């Protein structure tokens, strides 16, 4: 089988750059601006982010999750508390997030400490989910080996019958996490790979901004 060459795959970034004058002193203000611009540009799954955790053996593990809330306290996502990511966070409660918005030639990398959100916050969010998503949170033993897909579909049918005409409660094994950032880096693609990189570092409760070489 002939292998396709990928060495030549590249594109030149020609959008506007990122200057210190344009960047807010508070990284959350800049994130809000960029996130709203990603939504306006109709970036597909603009709230999708790569979440990287560290296993008990010290190995990094990455997967895509969805951002479901953010403010100056941090960035919130939801998952099964028995999943691989949750087990990693129980042992090593630090993680990294990465947003990539290719249409805008932008990415944001966020490092920080992670802890569960309060139960009431998970309860409130759970009731905003589509009913099918609520039921699947009960049906799936996330990250566990199963014999086939049929077992999931059977479990869903049982749950649909069980909760017919009722509010679906949040499973005790499912809820949210908040990553409280210690570092937030904004990357903007520029011509000839001389990209813009502005990083915000939290020191003694205050943010310090630096420019990094690309």
Of 43 and 151, which is predicted with more confidence? 43
Q: The dihedral of CA 19, 23, 25, 26: what is its sign? A: negative
Q: Of 72, 18, 63, which is closest to residue 180 (Cα–Cα)? A: 72
pLDDT tens digit string along 6-28? Answer: 888 888 887 788 999 888 889 99
The number of residues making up the chain comes to: 214
* Contact status, residue 71 vs residue 28, Cβ threshold 8 Å: yes
Query: Confidence band (pLDDT; 50, 70, 90) for 2?
Result: low
> Residues with catalytic annotation?
193
Query: Measured between alpha carbons, how far is 15 from 188 in angstroms, rounded to an integer?
Result: 9
Give the residue-averaged pLDDT of 152-173: 94
- Give every CB contact of residue 123 below 8 A, 6+ residues apart in sequence: 170
User: What does the DSSP 8-state code read for residue 141?
Assistant: -
pLDDT tens digit string along 71-85? Answer: 999 999 999 999 999
Give the pLDDT confidence score for residue 71 in this predicted structure: 96
92 half-sphere exposure, CB direction, 13 A CA radius? 16
Query: Measured between alpha carbons, how far is 203 from 201 in angstroms, rounded to an integer?
Result: 6
Query: Measured between alpha carbons, how far is 168 from 192 in angstroms, rounded to an integer?
Result: 53
φ and ψ of 182, to 5 deg: -110, -25
Give the pLDDT confidence score for residue 5 in this predicted structure: 82
- Give every CB contact of residue 110 below 8 A, 6+ residues apart in sequence: 75, 96, 97, 98, 179, 181, 183, 184, 185
Query: Confidence band (pLDDT; 50, 70, 90) for 170?
Result: very high
Query: Confidence band (pLDDT; 50, 70, 90) for 1?
Result: low
The DSSP line for 101-124 is EGGGTEEEEEEEEEEEPPHHHHHH
pLDDT tens digit string along 102-113? Answer: 999 999 999 999
Lowest mean per-residue pLDDT among 8-22, 28-42, 123-137, 199-213 = 8-22
pLDDT at 204 over 90: no
For the chain, the structural domain boundaries read 27-127+172-211, 130-169
Give percent of the chain with pLDDT exceeding 70.
98
Give the helix/strand (H/E) hosting 100: strand 94-101
How far apart, in Å, do the first and last CA atoms of the chain sit?
37
Give the pLDDT confidence score for residue 8 in this predicted structure: 83
Whether CATH 3.40.228.10 fits 27-127+172-211: no
Give the pLDDT confidence score for residue 65 in this predicted structure: 98
Query: Measured between alpha carbons, how far is 213 from 194 in angstroms, rounded to an integer?
Result: 8
Of 7 and 47, which is predicted with more confidence? 47
């Amino acid at each position: 089988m002939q292998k396709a060459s990928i060495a030549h795959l590249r594109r030149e970034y020609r959008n506007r750059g990122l200057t210190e004058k344009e960047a807010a002193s508070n990284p959350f203000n800049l994130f809000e601006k960029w996130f709203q611009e990603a939504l306006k540009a109709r970036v597909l799954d603009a709230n999708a982010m790569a979440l990287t955790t560290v296993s008990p053996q010290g190995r990094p593990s990455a997967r895509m999750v969805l951002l479901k809330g953010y403010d100056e306290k941090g960035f919130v996502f939801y998952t099964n508390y028995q999943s691989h990511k949750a087990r990693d966070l129980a042992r090593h409660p630090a993680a990294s997030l990465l947003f990539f918005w290719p249409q805008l030639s932008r990415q944001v990398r966020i490092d920080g400490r992670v802890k569960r959100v309060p139960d009431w916050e998970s309860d409130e969010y759970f009731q905003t989910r589509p009913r099918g998503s609520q039921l699947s949170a009960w049906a799936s033993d996330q990250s566990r080996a199963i014999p086939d897909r049929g077992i999931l579909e059977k479990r869903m049918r049982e749950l649909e019958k069980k909760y017919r005409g009722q509010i679906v409660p949040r499973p005790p094994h499912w809820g949210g996490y908040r990553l409280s950032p210690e570092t937030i880096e904004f990357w903007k693609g520029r011509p000839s790979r001389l990209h813009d990189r502005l990083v915000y570092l939290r020191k003694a409760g205050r943010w310090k901004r630096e420019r990094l070489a690309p």
